[in-house]
Structure formats: structure tokens, C-alpha cells
Amino acid sequence: MSDWLSDPVIFSAVFSAIAATVSALTLWFTSLKGPDIDLCNIPTKAKIENLWSGRFGEYIPNWYDLAPMQLVFSNNGSRGGVISSVSAQFQPSPGFKPLFKEFTSSDELQWPGVVDSSYRQLPVSIREGDNCVIQFKGTLSTLDWKDNLQIGKVSDISNVRKIVEESLKYNYEQFTNFLRFLESGDPFGTMTLYTTSTSRRWLRTRLETKKLTEEIEIANTFDAVTVNAFKSCLKDWNLKHSRLEEY
């Protein structure tokens, strides 16, 4: 045995250091670690749901829902925690960017194993060692093809009709570009998910926003029936609703 281990003082000091380390780790993982909430399943792609045929009646659809994503969160910490929000940042692809208007999202809570059409809204608490499922929904909006007539305050009323006609002409050209984009098969863009939840930092529990995923591709998954319905809207452009008659 080494000389330093044969020394009772040194041996006692080493043993005390090991015991202190074990105690510190035990204290951290049982009391001090706090909530540790993280996403278990990491999606890589999202898709847009095909549109109901009735939406191609009088108007040209300009908002599109993403298929709901089931996000499973677990709390591996030593204390209960709270998820206050799940949000998304959308980046349109180059081909879709000129046609893009906005991206909105919502999140609802779904308890595991419970089949129910009703969902609880966030925030939600998760006990230590427990998990929950959050249903994430998103909606993409394009230009308002026939109603996006940004007239504003026009001092010369006689020019209003001309402004409306020019706006409709511009939107017609943009809608034509939208059809080309749909046929290209290029993705709509990418989405990154973020969550705001409680976490422990420097022995204090606080709300912290963190990035959940890398970029999630929103694929261009409209089927041929939906694309053909959009084409019929272009063909019947003048039959679709507009506000020209109001001026």
C-alpha cells in the first residue's frame, strides 16, 4: 500500500472528500437540482393539411393549417415545474417569401392516455418524474388574394377604383406565382420551436426560454386535387369575391 494511504490523517481526509462529494451529488439530485423539463420527441418535418373543398367556393383560401404536432415533455428534475408557453419562429423559403404574410401558432395540453376532444390551455405544471403531451398547432397565411386592398386614406375619391384595380392586378400576378410555387414542390420554409418553462440556475428557480429543436421543414404536401382547385381559382378569378363593387 502506498505510504500516503498508510497515513491515517491522509486516508481520513481522502475518505471525507469522497463522502462530501457523494453527499453533494445526492443533495443536488434530490433537492437542489430543481425542475428539468425537456422535449422527448424531436420532430424533423411538418406538413400542411389538405384543404376542405368548400373553402374554394366564393373565396380563394389564403391560410393553411399545419397538421397538429404531439410534443411529449418530461420532467427529469427533483422538483415540479411549469411550462408557460410553446412558441415557434418561422422562416419562409426564398420561393415562398414574397407570398408570405404571417405565421401564428397555438398550444393545448393533452394528458397522456386521456382521449378527449377538449384540451387545457397552458401554462401547465409537471411533477418531478412525470410527463405531459402538448398539441402544437400552426397556421401559415399568404397574401389576401382578393381582399388585400390596402387603400388607406385616399384624398381623391375618383382614383379609388383605379387603385383597387391595380391592387387586384398585382394580386393576380402574385397568385400566379403562388401556383408556380405549389407545382415546384419546394418547402414553405422552416420552423424552430421554443419553450418557456421553469428551470434551476444558480440555486434559483426562474422561467427560462430555450430552443427545443433545430429547423423543422414545413413540406409542400398539397395533393394534386388541392393544387387543381387553386388552378380553378385562377381560371375563375373574376368570379371570386372582391370589394371592387363597394367603391
Q: Quickly state the pLDDT bin for 177 (edges 50, 70, 90).
A: very high
The pLDDT score that the predictor gives to residue 153 is: 46
The pLDDT of residue 89: 93
- Count how many residues are written for the chain: 247
Radius of gyration of the chain (CA): 28
DSSP for 12-34, written as a single string: HHHHHHHHHHHHHHHHIIIIIS-
Q: Return d(Cα 179, Cα 121) in angstroms, integer.
A: 37
Per-residue pLDDT averaged across 108-126, rounded?
65
pTM, two decimals, is: 0.76
154-190 exposure pattern, b = at least 16 Cβ within 10 A, e = fewer: eeeeeeeeebbeebbeebeeebeebeebbeeeebbbb
Q: 138-154, pLDDT tens digit by residue? A: 999 998 888 655 554 44
pLDDT tens by residue, 4-37: 556 565 556 555 556 545 444 444 444 555 788 8
Phi-psi region of 152 (alpha: psi -120 to 50; beta: other; left: phi over 0): left
Residue 242: per-residue pLDDT: 62
**Model pLDDT, residue 79:** 79
